[in-house]
Amino acid sequence: MDFKPNYVDKIDHLVCLIEFLRVLNIFCSCLIVYCFMIFLGIQKNLEVMIKPIRNSQTMVYHMVVFINFIAY
C-alpha cells in the first residue's frame, strides 16, 4: 500500500495549474492595459476628454501592477 506516487502526481498537477494561472494572469493584465491604451489612442484622435482618460488609464495600470504584486 504505497500512496506516494498518486500524492506526488496530484502535487505536480497543482503546481502546473498554479503556473498556468500565473501566466494567464500576466497575459490578461497586459491585454487589459493594451486594450485600454488602444482606447486611449482612439479617444486622443477624437480629441474628446483626453485628460480624464489619461488619468484613469494611469490609475488602471497602477491597479493592475498592484494586484499582480499582491498575487505573487
Confidence at residue 50, expressed as pLDDT on a 0 to 100 scale: 46
Confidence at residue 49, expressed as pLDDT on a 0 to 100 scale: 45
Q: What is the pLDDT of residues 7-59, one digit of tens each?
A: 667 778 888 888 888 888 888 887 887 777 777 766 565 554 445 555 566 66
- Of 57, 65, 59, 60, residue with least CA distance to 25: 65
Q: Domain ranges in the chain?
A: 4-71
Q: Is 2 left (phi over 0), alpha (psi -120 to 50) or beta?
A: beta
Q: What 3-state class would DSSP assign to 49? A: coil
Confidence at residue 3, expressed as pLDDT on a 0 to 100 scale: 58
And the C-alpha cell for 55? 488619468
Distance (Å, whole) CA 46 – CA 16: 45
Query: How many other C-beta atoms can be found within 10 angstroms of the C-beta atom of residue 14?
Result: 10
